[in-house]
Amino acid sequence: MSTPEPEIQFELEPPPDAKVYVSTAKPKPPLTNEEWANLEKPKVLIIGAGIGGLMLGNFLQKGGIPFEIFERMDIVKPLGSCMSIGGLFGPLFEQIGILDDLEAIGKLNISLEYLREDLSRLFVMDTSERLELTGANEYIVSRPELYNLLLRQIPKEKIHMSKKVLSFMQNEDGVMIRCADNQTHHGDILVGADGAHSAVRQHLYKELKQKKKLPSSDDVPLPFNCVCLVGQTEVLDPEEFPDLNLPYSKFNSVLGSNDFSWARATTKQNTVCWLVARFLTKETSKQHDSFRNSEWGPEAAEAMCKEVRDFKVPGGKEGKVTTIGDLIDRTPKHLISKVMLEEKIFDTWFGGRTVLLGDACHKLNPAGGAGALTAIQDGVALANWICALQSKKASEIEESFKEYHAERYPLVKESYEMSKLFKHIAGKSYASMLIRAVFTRLPRFLWRQILIKRCLARPQLSFLPLVEDKGTVPPIYQASLHKTLEILKRRAEDQAKEASSTNATVAEFRVGPEAAEAMCQIVRDYKVPIRDDRMATIGDLIDKTLKDLISRPYWKTG
């Protein structure tokens, strides 16, 4: 871009010895339309680039809300096995434009088969009716595939790696985070999407505790009673593993006679995602307590890999016995991880300009497959309220967080109880044995009721065009959708009235140079100062003004 010529100050017939004043200051570039719009929008700082954080980033990107994502790792490794997703989010994923991509990477999930340790069938949960109930297919998707799909939707400049948050400050004017590299970043809203051991939650709770605003229920360590080993194999040969040829995912869960249960599922990419869970007693829980804060990663997994190698799994050619060890040997080490599984719903989800999302405020057992799903549902509700904010005032932001908590907390409680039920199916207690006995004899109509209950929370974003929900069972009332739709509707009506009023004024009163000639004659002799006590007239200025640049507006007030 060429440098603009310096502007010479206006003079009327300057004398020969007059000094000419030249401005050497470089003019600031004008704000873009997006920058002007963003002046009125809250800037969101998202801590954590997991599935919950990335999904919220996707929603805000579509809503035109400025945001940045900060991740403490230098490279996010999407560790974990797989997840079942799609049925609850068909319209939502169509809204944000990733439904076709999900179908491309996912394999249909129509059932979950429970097996005994000898691989004989115990019972099957038929989930094929979800398509009818929700209007959308359910897919088994490996976590790395889903993660990479979400990552591609967000501009690279909005994700900052190696940004470990040490602390934050918030007040009436905004929020500031301080990172381990001693840099600070500023915004209007801080979202803690940084997992079960959330640094944002810990700092927020410390702040609330000092103010005596933290309930005792949130001032206790995270409880855990299960340790989990997960992984995903490399691409396998369908000749060796015939299940890979099926048009749907073969999803099996084996209930061991010891403290273990394990599962495997086939994917669209001809890989097998697998999981081994160990249910801890009081004694074994103490033994694992030293690993409570360990990362998901291969280093912590080696000993457990050796311990579970001989566990049998189905899927071998012509009935050949396959083991977890066979899957481990075909799994890249960086895709194997071990983690402690905590279970807790925190009561405090926000404070001031800071709010929590996903595992940071509710950690569910993965047995029910609801952990990432609830994080996505959190993100929808939170994005709806953020996009409906009328100002950046801390009081208004906190009121929106109250609405978010009021909507999501009861639904998360339901998901928590459902996860406990599925955990018990694979558990070793007497209660678990009783629940398994019930499920083996469960009438189909009762199972359908359970399935319906799991299909009701189907959220959409209020700031994007709504998509028809084709499910035979209508979704439950979504407060953030309907309330913010009303807010956005009123805002659009007000803007339309304002635009209509402005356009009418322009059309009626703002006239061109022809209608200004009479007024030019009236004001010609009005004097204006120039320099050194010299005077000029409005007429002098009119004569030096191009006629096309003269107009006569009327200013309407009130």
Q: In 3D, which of 273, 309, 285, 274 has the Cα closest to residue 226?
A: 285
Q: How confident is the model at residue 135 (pLDDT cuts 50, 70, 90)?
A: very high
Question: Looking at residue 32, what is its pLDDT?
Answer: 56
Angle subtended at Cα 414 by Cα 410 and Cα 418, rounded to the nearest 5 degrees: 165
Residue 404 neighbours by CB distance under 10 Å: 24
Taking 3-state DSSP, the helix, strand and coil percentages for the chain, each rounded to the nearest 5, stand at: 40, 20, 40
The yes-or-no verdict on residue 28 having pLDDT over 60 is: no
Question: Looking at residue 288, what is its pLDDT?
Answer: 53
* Average pLDDT score, the chain: 85
First vs last Cα of the chain: how many Å apart?
A: 42
- State CA 189 to chain mean position distance: 14
Overall average pLDDT of the 165-180 stretch: 96
Size of the chain, expressed as the number of residues it contains:
558
The yes-or-no verdict on residue 165 having pLDDT over 50 is: yes
The yes-or-no verdict on residue 549 having pLDDT over 80 is: no
- Return the percentage of the chain with pLDDT > 90, whole number: 63
Which pair of tokens denotes residue 187? 């915004």
DSSP H/E element including 397: helix 394-426
Overall average pLDDT of the 194-200 stretch: 94
**Model confidence over 374-393: pLDDT tens digits?**
999 999 999 999 999 999 99
DSSP H/E element including 337: strand 337-342
Residue with tokens 């405090």: 348
- Please state, in angstroms and as integers, the Cα–Cα distance from residue 218 to each residue in 361, 362, 416, 488, following that order: 10, 11, 17, 35
State the Cα–Cα distance between residues 89 and 558, nearest whole angstrom: 47
Backbone torsions φ then ψ of 367, nearest 5 degrees = -60, -35
Question: How would DSSP label each residue in 24-68?
Answer: -SPPPPPPPHHHHHHTTS--EEEE--SHHHHHHHHHHHHHT--EE
The yes-or-no verdict on residue 332 having pLDDT over 80 is: yes
Query: Residue 482: helix, strand or coil by DSSP?
Result: helix
Task: Find out whether 524 and 539 touch, Cβ atoms under 8 Å.
Answer: yes
Question: Looking at residue 134, what is its pLDDT?
Answer: 97
- State CA 475 to chain mean position distance: 21
Question: Looking at residue 4, what is its pLDDT?
Answer: 47
The yes-or-no verdict on residue 18 having pLDDT over 50 is: no
Question: Looking at residue 289, what is its pLDDT?
Answer: 54
Instruction: Identify the DSSP state of 156.
Output: G
Question: Looking at residue 64, what is its pLDDT?
Answer: 95
The yes-or-no verdict on residue 208 having pLDDT over 50 is: yes
> Which of 27-36, 168-177, 249-258 is predicted most confidently?
168-177
Q: How confident is the model at residue 460 (pLDDT cuts 50, 70, 90)?
A: very high
The yes-or-no verdict on residue 48 having pLDDT over 80 is: yes
The yes-or-no verdict on residue 312 having pLDDT over 90 is: yes
Q: Where are the alpha helices (DSSP H) in 89-198?
A: 90-95, 99-105, 130-134, 143-152
